[in-house]
Amino acid sequence: MKVEEYTKRQQQVGRWKINIVSYRLGDEYLCTVDNVEPGAVLARGKGPTREEAEKKAIQKAEEMLGKTRVLTSDSA
């Protein structure tokens, strides 16, 4: 199989920038979401359409980022 319809874009989720990469592989769309700094994969999604695959992955990433504690110099 060959990767087709590859797209990559950035989006803001809360205080974090994320990269959204999606593509078609055969009859299925796959999506990976990572945080721009440091580039760790947060979530993956797949579905019959690009929109569904991206929606699943972004939703998982939002849940993970929502649980992330942010330490400030005031709380140290």
Rounded to whole angstroms, how far apart are CA atoms 52 and 63? 17
Q: What is the pLDDT of residue 73?
A: 78
Spell out the per-residue pLDDT of the chain, length 76, in tens.
899 999 999 999 888 899 999 999 999 999 999 998 887 999 999 999 999 999 999 999 999 988 877 767 765 5
Q: What is the pLDDT of residue 33?
A: 97
**Contact predicate 44/35, CB 8 Å:** no
pTM given for the model: 0.84
CATH architecture of 3-67: 2-Layer Sandwich (3.30)
What are the boundaries of each domain within the chain? 3-67
**Contact predicate 43/60, CB 8 Å:** yes
Q: What is the pLDDT of residue 76?
A: 53
